[in-house]
Structure 1
Amino acid sequence: MSTVSSSSASSAAAASIAADKTALQQAMQSVISGATGNTSMDVNSLVTALVNSKTAGQVATLAAQQSTDNTQISAYGALSAALSALQTGLTSLSNGSLQSTFTATMSGTGITATAATGAVAGSYSMSVSQVASSQALSSAAFTSTQQLGTGTLAISLGSKSFNVSVDSSNNTVAGIAAAINSASGNPGVTATVVNGTDGAHLVLASSSTGASNTISVAVNNLSGDNGLSSLGVTSTASTTGGQSTFTSAVGTSAWTQSSVAQDAEFSINGIAGSSSTNSVTSAISGVTLNLTSAAVTTPASTQTLTIAADTTSQASAINNFVTLYNTLVTTMGTLTQYNASSTSQGPLLGDSTLNTINNTLASIVASGVKNGSTSQSLASIGISLQANGTLLVDSTTLTSALQNNSSTVASLFNSTNGIGEQLNSSVTNFTQTGGMIDVRTTALNSDLTSITTQQTNLSDYISQLTSQYSAQFTALNTLMATTSNNSAYLTQLFGGTNSAGALATNKS
């Protein structure tokens, strides 16, 4: 942040006025020169000097005040940005979620776990007997150009269904696949054509895993059947956790099942569970389990899931808060600094708004949190307040507090009157619409509007004054030139100092 001199406005005005006085003296000399017959006076310089002499003080004062206002608005912007950055870093320290961060670790392979809000530290034994999969059916082979007939395919995926019209324009294997993929209301059946040595196969696959997401096809309104009827198939979900089965409408070899529809089956602490997807979110509160086929072994293997407090993330959040708070303190120091050697100062030196903000936040971090008759301070978890207002973290003490004294950490950063919540509320009061910073910047912007109006009025006055002076001094210059010419003529006729004159010579 750049600093501005407290006397810069008056210095600039004084320098401008001094320069205008010098110009005025030079211009007035031209009047004297013109009056004594040496030369014509410099009207433009004289008018400019006179106008500037009359208005320079006002121009300089308005410009200086405009510069000061803009500098202070910029300074408040920097202060507000630092406050907002601090508030963003306070999220988990103000809403009580700091200690709701956990790590989830599996002892084996094939399962990954993540813990979020709602998780509880603990250990669980887990095994997986099967993972969830989606059904895929392959039809018998057809030639690529074979027209299978016309009709309507009623296709269902689980409890959802849609219709595909088959006519002479799309009754090849490729045409039917394209019609299925583009059909309105398709809940997730994907059709592809696989070309084998025996011909083209229509493959239907579900986009969703789970035993209930089976595929069935009914052929209706059949006409000119040339293989279309063989696309009928009925799939059945297992009711015992096993694999899906199917029955072809025409011939046992009309369809084959290349992938089965089934749920994931697992056991946690001896309790059986199932899921239609391999992302299991409801088995353990706050924990998401992601299953892969690598977890299914023969014989079945048991893994251990460990949920533990994520003290690394907690320490990172606290250290980030300290960094942002120190950045704010540094910013406020820059905005209020004073350099005696250069007599320069920060744009908000002595500003009551900044002083209030600084004192309020400093009081919060210094006072800590009261809980009945006792109180907890940041120092109890290794954060000390320095003489310059910044905070310093003792990483060893902080880590120990997070691991061994979680109740103190929870008290310091509780969501009711914790340090994070106190700071968060204060920052909101300072930066919100109608808050202290908004009130000050609104007043400064109003002053800038007033200055702009004054500058416009002054500019109009300068134009009028310039026109008036130009007319007056142009007339004066003309008069002096005429007088000078008349004087020279009379001297020529009657003589003057050291000259006799034409009439005097004629008279003699």
Structure 2
Amino acid sequence: MSSISTTSSTASANAELQSAAQSIISGSTGNSSMDVSTLVTALVNAKTAGQTAALTAQQTSDNTKLSAYGALSSALSALQSGITNLANGTTLSTFTATATGSGLTATAGSGAVAGSYSVAVTQVASSQALSSAAFGATTQLGTGTLSISVGGKSMDISVDSTNNTLSGIAAAINASSNNPGVTATIVTGTDGAHLVLRASNTGAANVINVSTSNVTTDNGLSSLGVTSTASTTGGQSTITSANSSSAWTQSAVAQDAEFTVGGIAASSSTNAVTSAIAGVTLNLTSAAAGTTQTLTVAQDTSSQSTAINNFVSLYNTVVTTMSTLTSYSSGASSQGALLGDSTLQTIRNTLASIVGGAVGSGSTAATLASIGITLKGDPADGTLVVDNTALSTALTSSQATVAQLFNSTNGIAEQLNTSITNFTQTGGIIDTRNTALNADLKSITTQQNSLALYAAQLTSQYQAQFTALDTLMATMNNNSQYLTQLFGGTNSAGALATNKA
């Protein structure tokens, strides 16, 4: 393409030069004045057109290759990102956890092991809620200090004439920067307004205690004292009010979740239980209380199949991208930007060798073909195709083969990951080619600047020379016309001959 462009530019410059030469001939014969501007432009173009076209063609070629390497790097990076969890073994360590009843769900994560577990739930964890006796909504309860503790943390609320109503006390509790984990609301019933305190966290240890001190004016403030006691046997919390005639009530108890796993007793302060089964989180709701269910932990073959199919799709994108960049069509005006490029060929061969190779040796060697992934019908195509029936069978019946094929040490995904890093990292073969192309572009820019300066100098020089020539020829033409008028020409008599006659 660059040869065609250079030839075209040279032909155009020659045509301009011929036109300018005709201008000189016409000017010298007196038919018209010389077109200095066109002549100068033609001469400068004739001097620089070839080099200009060659530099432009090389610049276009370099930029095209940079774009091509960018497309290749993008496809490689997408593949690398998509196989991360296959390369590090995370995907093959995914499990599902399914319970047979209601109120119990589970998620399996790192460290989970396939198995079946009997889970019997006695009670679920809950947070304590206390309601005070009824007071008037605007009753000023007195002044003093209200101390509230939850789970071993406490705060003091100063009660004075600005906040000594139930709503004022509730607002002060919620606004405190030292709040230990309790929220306060006002619930108004037919008997009056009640202060309701609720612990933010579940569990028997998170009981609420309220005490008063420094009470100077008492119109019910001291009645807000209450002592809560957590059960030590897995039961519910109990309370004792400071004033039995204005007693608190416990509308929700503080308790731990109590359950057994395979007959082994366990408890948890929350309903998201992470300590009972390794790698498994049990999630309990009230519907699970009083039930015995079977929890099955199994390989998540659906997610694994999706990840493997995604790997094949991303790999095929890389292969297709490389095929486009090296495409060849006889007679076409342009070919693939990296046709015959040794860097791309190295990458192509490396990737093909990995996906076509085996992990392990001898009779225990595992290949992609052994789990239903093979080359497309035409080997030259290079893309992979998945037999999902065979893959599903491998995932359910030959997990050891799949695990070997995608192990985190020398599995196929890890080999690809390592190779792609080597290709795309700073100092890698793609970066090296990009560096060389950018250096060439910088050199081309320098040459173009020098050429532009040279063209400007030629233009100035030719402008002066041919302006002077044009002036000289105009003078000569004028003299010729005068002499012809005076002495006569080929077909006429001059003024002197006429006067003589």
Give the aligned residue type for 1:301. T
Q: Deviations over 1:239-290 (max 9, x none)?
A: 1111122222334534222221111111111111111111111110111111
Q: Distance in 1 between matches of 2:183 and 2:291?
A: 35
Mapped contact 2:223–2:246 kept (Cα < 8 A): no
Q: Is 2:77 aligned against 1:84?
A: yes
Which runs of structure 2 are paired with 1:405-420 in the superposition (5 Å)? 405-420=398-413
Q: Call closer, same or farther: CA 1:486–1:396 in 2, change over 3 Å.
A: same
**Once the 2 structures are TM-superposed, how far is the Cα of residue 358 of structure 1 from its aligned partner?**
0.9
Q: Call closer, same or farther: CA 1:450–1:494 in 2, change over 3 Å.
A: same
Q: Is 2:240 aligned against 1:247?
A: yes
- Corresponding residue of 1:5: none
**Once the 2 structures are TM-superposed, how far is the Cα of residue 174 of structure 1 from its aligned partner?**
2.5
- Corresponding residue of 1:147: 140
Q: Distance in 1 between matches of 2:178 and 2:362?
A: 62
Q: Deviations over 1:131-168 (max 9, x none)?
A: 11111222233333333333333222211222333333
Q: Deviations over 1:311-359 (max 9, x none)?
A: 2222222221111111111111111110113153211111111111111
Q: Is 2:191 aligned against 1:191?
A: no
- Corresponding residue of 1:263: 256
Q: Distance in 2 between matches of 1:472 and 1:168?
A: 104
Give the aligned residue type for 2:332. S
- Corresponding residue of 2:121: 128
40-49 vs 465-474, which moves further:
465-474
Q: 1:429 aligns with which of 422, 425, 431?
A: 422
Q: Is 2:495 aligned against 1:492?
A: no
- Corresponding residue of 1:337: 327
Q: Is 2:470 aligned against 1:477?
A: yes
Give the aligned residue type for 2:172. A
- Corresponding residue of 1:459: 452
Q: Secondary structure at the match of 1:290?
A: strand
Give the aligned residue type for 1:364. I
- Corresponding residue of 1:317: 307
Q: Secondary structure at the match of 1:62?
A: helix
Q: Call closer, same or farther: CA 1:487–1:177 in 2, change over 3 Å.
A: farther
155-164 vs 326-335, which moves further:
155-164
**Once the 2 structures are TM-superposed, how far is the Cα of residue 294 of structure 1 from its aligned partner?**
0.9
Mapped contact 2:23–2:34 kept (Cα < 8 A): yes
- Corresponding residue of 1:366: 356
Q: Distance in 2 between matches of 1:324 and 1:497?
A: 89
Q: Deviations over 1:400-443 (max 9, x none)?
A: 22222222222211222221221111111111111111111111
Q: Secondary structure at the match of 1:45?
A: helix
Give the aligned residue type for 2:121. V
**Once the 2 structures are TM-superposed, how far is the Cα of residue 373 of structure 1 from its aligned partner?**
7.0
- Corresponding residue of 1:168: 161
Which runs of structure 2 are paired with 1:108-127 in the superposition (5 Å)? 108-127=101-120
Q: 1:211 aligns with which of 185, 204, 211?
A: 204
Give the aligned residue type for 1:210. G
Q: Secondary structure at the match of 2:454?
A: helix
Q: Deviations over 1:442-495 (max 9, x none)?
A: 111121122222222222222232222223222322332233233323323332
Q: Is 2:345 aligned against 1:355?
A: yes
Q: Is 2:197 aligned against 1:222?
A: no
- Corresponding residue of 1:306: 296
Which runs of structure 2 are paired with 1:88-99 in the superposition (5 Å)? 88-99=81-92
45-54 vs 71-80, which moves further:
45-54
Q: Call closer, same or farther: CA 1:181–1:371 in 2, change over 3 Å.
A: farther
Q: Secondary structure at the match of 1:258?
A: strand
Mapped contact 2:424–2:431 kept (Cα < 8 A): yes
**Once the 2 structures are TM-superposed, how far is the Cα of residue 192 of structure 1 from its aligned partner?**
1.9
166-175 vs 272-281, which moves further:
166-175
Q: Distance in 1 between matches of 2:239 and 2:447?
A: 88
**Once the 2 structures are TM-superposed, how far is the Cα of residue 211 of structure 1 from its aligned partner?**
1.1
490-499 vs 333-342, which moves further:
490-499
**Alignment TM-score, normalising by the size of structure 2:** 0.94
Which runs of structure 2 are paired with 1:62-73 in the superposition (5 Å)? 62-73=55-66
Q: Identity, % of aligned pairs?
A: 70
- Corresponding residue of 2:435: 442
Give the aligned residue type for 1:163. D
Q: Secondary structure at the match of 2:132?
A: strand
Mapped contact 2:86–2:92 kept (Cα < 8 A): no
Q: 1:381 aligns with which of 336, 349, 371?
A: 371
- Corresponding residue of 2:224: 231
In the alignment, structure 1 segments of 5+ residues that lack a partner are 1-7
Q: 1:26 aligns with which of 19, 27, 36?
A: 19
Give the aligned residue type for 1:439. T
Q: Distance in 2 between matches of 1:200 and 1:504?
A: 139
Q: Call closer, same or farther: CA 1:452–1:196 in 2, change over 3 Å.
A: farther
- Corresponding residue of 2:34: 41
Give the aligned residue type for 1:219. T
Q: Distance in 2 between matches of 1:70 and 1:171?
A: 77
Which runs of structure 2 are paired with 1:266-281 in the superposition (5 Å)? 266-281=259-274
Q: Call closer, same or farther: CA 1:21–1:166 in 2, change over 3 Å.
A: farther
- Corresponding residue of 1:56: 49
Q: Deviations over 1:346-375 (max 9, x none)?
A: 111111111111111111122211246752
In the alignment, structure 2 segments of 5+ residues that lack a partner are none
Q: Secondary structure at the match of 1:224?
A: strand
Q: Call closer, same or farther: CA 1:497–1:106 in 2, change over 3 Å.
A: same
**Count of residue pairs brought into register by the alignment:** 498
195-204 vs 271-280, which moves further:
195-204
Q: Distance in 1 between matches of 2:93 and 2:75?
A: 27
Q: Secondary structure at the match of 1:142?
A: coil
